[in-house]
């Protein structure tokens, strides 16, 4: 049997981070956490209040604030050294996908040895690794509930993934107040990443009826609450809904996977250094159009979630075009994503790389050069 939808992390939503973090540490009797964070978030008043609370409770934490976006191997290995030297017993990751991914890597290396790059292909993890408390500050990657972590090989300029169900977070604390400081552009790109996760896991050939139900809800939450999070960033209800949607998205892609939107996002994004969510969102209209030919019922359901009025007698091709147009309206007019300024011919020249990207095989149709070329032709449009 191919059982899916395992969920091993204990998840809570908190409006009192200091109290709930301390309680979480006490639940597992953790006394010496590594605080893994970036230098910007270390200035956050919510974070500082929590660190004061830990100090007062005699929790003797160690701070590692050197994590940078798209973390390289060296940052993970250095963090693991610090963890081991200080004999830490847990790791509190406060940040976006980059901090949480790097922290999962630190946890793996600290417990299982070696260096993080050895886990990309050769080294396997055969025992549950506890101790990771993930506190996301963006609402996008879903890294807090994901079994993947992405690290960068700076020499080869390549982003590589380590996958392990044994290394998922032990606890996830969702604190909407931490997302309030996200600027508009970051809120849009990370929010569109959530939509892409749900749209792709929903239509991937790994999807299941249970994954589908979760994805429908995620897309509904993004459609309803991302505009408020973007235009009224102080609205805590909208921030909370997006945080929950993002976390569920991480869970959904553990089980349903992503497909062409992310394959294109990875290849084009890495080449032109685009924000991950933007790189995927520029590809989605073309992916929606092609997916409508294989999965018309699901694409019609996405159109319903986007509150489009879709006549019953549309051909699959027309349906794809209408839903792609509706998504574009949401992305560009309602949210205000910045226009894509890339040269079309250069983007189309990446066709072969996209065809061979590892997630492309999850698409619900055969991924040919012709199909990918046509999607890249419309990239950003």
Ligand X SMILES: NC(=O)c1ccc[n+]([C@@H]2O[C@H](COP(=O)([O-])OP(=O)(O)OC[C@H]3O[C@@H](n4cnc5c(N)ncnc54)[C@H](O)[C@@H]3O)[C@@H](O)[C@H]2O)c1
List residues binding Fe ion (CB under 5 A): 193
Sign for the CA dihedral angle at 100, 249, 281, 363 comes to positive
Contact partner at residue 212 from ligand X, Fe ion, none, CB < 5 to 8 Å by partner kind: none
Q: How far is the CB of 152 from ligand X (least distance, A)?
A: 7
Contact partner at residue 98 from ligand X, Fe ion, none, CB < 5 to 8 Å by partner kind: ligand X
Q: How far is the CB of 338 from Fe ion (least distance, A)?
A: 18
- Residue 339: partners with Cβ closer than 8 Å, 6 or more residues away: 332, 380
Q: How far is the CB of 58 from Fe ion (least distance, A)?
A: 39
Q: Pick the closer one to Fe ion by CB: 170 or 193.
A: 193
Q: How far is the CB of 277 from Fe ion (least distance, A)?
A: 7
Any idea what DSSP says for residue 338? P
Report the interface residues with ligand X, using CB under 6 A: 38, 40-41, 69-70, 95-99, 101, 137-138, 140-141, 143, 146, 148-150, 159, 178-179, 181-182, 186, 190, 250, 276
Give the residue carrying structure tokens 């506890």: 130
Among the listed residues 3, 2, 19, 8, the one whose alpha carbon sits nearest the alpha carbon of residue 250: 8
Contact partner at residue 107 from Fe ion, ligand X, none, CB < 5 to 8 Å by partner kind: none
Q: How far is the CB of 111 from Fe ion (least distance, A)?
A: 26
Q: Pick the closer one to Fe ion by CB: 70 or 193.
A: 193
* Both structure tokens of 324: 């792609």
Q: Pick the closer one to ligand X by CB: 140 or 261.
A: 140
Measured in residues, the chain has a length of 381
**First-to-final CA distance of the chain:** 42
CA distance 54 to 26: 11
Q: Pick the closer one to ligand X by CB: 185 or 373.
A: 185
Q: Pick the closer one to Fe ion by CB: 193 or 357.
A: 193
CB 162 within 8 A of CB 151: yes
Among the listed residues 302, 207, 319, the one whose alpha carbon sits nearest the alpha carbon of residue 256: 207
């Amino acid at each position: 049997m191919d059982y899916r939808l395992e969920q091993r992390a204990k998840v809570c939503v908190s409006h009192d981070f200091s109290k709930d973090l301390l309680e979480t540490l006490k639940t597992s009797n953790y006394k010496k956490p590594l605080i893994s964070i970036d230098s910007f978030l270390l200035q956050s008043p919510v974070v500082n209040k929590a660190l004061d609370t830990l100090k007062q409770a005699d929790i003797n934490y160690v701070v590692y604030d050197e994590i940078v976006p798209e973390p390289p191997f060296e940052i993970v290995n250095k963090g693991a050294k610090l963890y081991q030297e200080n004999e830490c017993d847990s790791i509190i990751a406060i940040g976006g996908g980059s901090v949480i991914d790097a922290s999962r890597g630190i946890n793996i290396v600290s417990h299982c040895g070696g260096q993080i790059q050895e886990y990309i292909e050769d080294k396997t993890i055969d025992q549950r690794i506890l101790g990771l408390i993930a506190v996301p500050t963006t609402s996008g990657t879903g890294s807090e509930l994901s079994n993947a972590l992405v690290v960068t090989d700076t020499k080869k300029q390549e982003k590589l993934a380590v996958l392990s169900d044994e290394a998922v977070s032990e606890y996830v604390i969702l604190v909407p107040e931490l997302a309030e400081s996200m600027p508009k552009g970051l809120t849009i790109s990370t929010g569109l990443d959530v939509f892409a996760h749900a749209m792709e896991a929903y239509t991937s050939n790994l999807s299941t009826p249970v994954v589908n139900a979760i994805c429908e809800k995620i897309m509904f939450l993004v459609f309803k609450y991302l505009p408020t999070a973007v235009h009224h960033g102080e609205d805590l209800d909208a921030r909370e809904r997006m945080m929950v949607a993002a976390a569920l998205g991480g869970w959904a892609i553990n089980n349903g996977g992503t497909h062409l939107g992310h394959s294109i996002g990875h290849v084009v994004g890495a080449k032109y250094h685009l924000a991950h969510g933007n790189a995927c969102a520029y590809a989605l209209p073309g992916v929606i159009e092609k997916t409508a030919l294989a999965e018309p019922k699901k694409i019609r359901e996405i159109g319903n979630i986007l509150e489009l009025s879709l006549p019953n007698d549309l051909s699959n091709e027309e349906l794809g075009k209408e839903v792609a147009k509706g998504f574009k309206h949401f992305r560009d007019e309602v949210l205000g994503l910045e226009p894509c300024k890339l040269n079309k011919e250069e983007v189309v020249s990446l066709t072969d790389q996209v065809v061979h990207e590892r997630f492309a095989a999850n698409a619900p149709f055969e991924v040919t050069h012709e199909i990918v070329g046509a999607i890249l032709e419309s990239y950003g449009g």
